[in-house]
Structure 1
Amino acid sequence: MPDKPIRVGFIGLNPGIHWAATAHIPAIKALTADFHVVGVANTSLASARNAADAFGLPHAFEDAQALVASPEVDLVVVTVKVPHRHALVAAALETGKHVYCEWPLGNGLAEAQELADLAEAKGVVAVAGTQMRAAPEVEYLRQLIADGYVGEVLSTTLIGSGGQWGAETDAAHGYLYDRNNGATLLSIPLGHTLAGLQEVLGGFGAISARLINRRETVHVTDTGQTIPVTTPDQVLVQGALQSGAAISIHYRGGMSRGTNLLWEINGTQGDIQVTGASGHGQIVQLSIRGGNGDASGLTPLVPPASAYEGWPDNSTVRNVARLYARIAEDIRKGTRTAPSFRDAVALHEVIDRIEQAAAREPQ
Structure 2
Amino acid sequence: MTTTPIRVGFIGLNPDSNWAFMAHMPALKSLGDRFEIIGVANSSAESAKRTAKTHGLKYAFETPDALVASDEVDLVVVTVKVPYHFELVSKALDAGKHVYCEWPLGNGLEEARKLAALAEEKGVVAVAGTQARAAHEILHLKKLIADGYVGRVLSTSVIGTGGSWANQTSEALYYLFDKKNGATMEDIPIGHTLAAIKDVLGDFGDLDATKLFNFDTVAVTETGEKKLKTAPDQVMVQGALASGAAFSLHYKGGTNRGTNFLWEINGTEGDIQVTAGLGHAQMVQLTIKGAKGEETELVDLMPDASVYEGQPEFPGARNVAGIYARLAEDIQNGTKTAPTFADAVVLHEILDKIEKSAAAKG
The bucket for the TM-score relative to the shorter chain is: over 0.9
Deviation digits for residues 108-167 of structure 1 (CA, Å, limit 9, x no counterpart): 000000000000111100000000000010000000000000000000000000001012
Give the corresponding residue for 2:251.
Answer: 251
Q: How many residues align?
A: 362
Runs of at least 5 residues in structure 1 that lack an aligned partner in the other structure: none
Other structure's SS at 1:295 match:
coil
Other structure's SS at 1:322 match:
helix
- Offset at 1:208? 0.6
**1:168 and 2:168 correspond:** yes
Alignment check: 8 A CA contact 1:93 1:122 kept: yes
- Offset at 1:94? 0.3
Q: Percent identity?
A: 60
Give the corresponding residue for 1:272.
Answer: 272
Deviation digits for residues 168-221 of structure 1 (CA, Å, limit 9, x no counterpart): 110100001110000000010110111111110011101111011211011101
**What amino acid sits opposite 1:97 in the alignment?**
K
Give the corresponding residue for 2:333.
Answer: 333
Q: Residues of 1 paired with 2:162 and 2:177: CA distance?
A: 12
Give the corresponding residue for 2:15.
Answer: 15
- Offset at 1:360? 1.9
Give the corresponding residue for 1:152.
Answer: 152
Other structure's SS at 1:110 match:
helix
Runs of at least 5 residues in structure 2 that lack an aligned partner in the other structure: none
- Offset at 1:344? 0.2
Please list, as runs of the form range in 1=range in 2, the aligned pairs for 1:184-199 lying within 5 A after superposition: 184-199=184-199
- Offset at 1:310? 3.0
Give the corresponding residue for 1:178.
Answer: 178
**What amino acid sits opposite 1:231 in the alignment?**
A
- Offset at 1:52? 0.6
Q: Residues of 1 paired with 2:206 and 2:339: CA distance?
A: 24
Give the corresponding residue for 2:91.
Answer: 91
Q: Residues of 2 paired with 1:134 and 1:185: CA distance?
A: 21
**1:107 and 2:107 correspond:** yes
Q: Residues of 2 paired with 1:172 and 1:203: CA distance?
A: 35
**What amino acid sits opposite 2:311 in the alignment?**
W
**1:356 and 2:360 correspond:** no
Other structure's SS at 1:25 match:
helix
- Offset at 1:306? 3.4
Alignment check: 8 A CA contact 1:5 1:32 kept: no
Root-mean-square deviation (Å): 0.8
Q: Residues of 2 paired with 1:165 and 1:17: CA distance?
A: 20
Alignment check: 8 A CA contact 1:93 1:119 kept: yes
Taking structure 2 as the reference length, the TM-score comes to: 0.99
Give the corresponding residue for 2:125.
Answer: 125
Q: Residues of 2 paired with 1:20 and 1:68: CA distance?
A: 18
Please list, as runs of the form range in 1=range in 2, the aligned pairs for 1:283-322 lying within 5 A after superposition: 283-322=283-322
Taking structure 1 as the reference length, the TM-score comes to: 0.98
Q: Residues of 1 paired with 2:334 and 2:73: CA distance?
A: 18
Q: Residues of 2 paired with 1:62 and 1:17: CA distance?
A: 21
Give the corresponding residue for 1:346.
Answer: 346
**What amino acid sits opposite 1:340 in the alignment?**
T
Please list, as runs of the form range in 1=range in 2, the aligned pairs for 1:2-151 lying within 5 A after superposition: 2-151=2-151
Alignment check: 8 A CA contact 1:7 1:36 kept: yes
- Offset at 1:4? 1.1
Other structure's SS at 2:257 match:
coil
Deviation digits for residues 76-122 of structure 1 (CA, Å, limit 9, x no counterpart): 00000000000000000001000000000000000000000000111
- Offset at 1:223? 2.6
Give the corresponding residue for 1:221.
Answer: 221
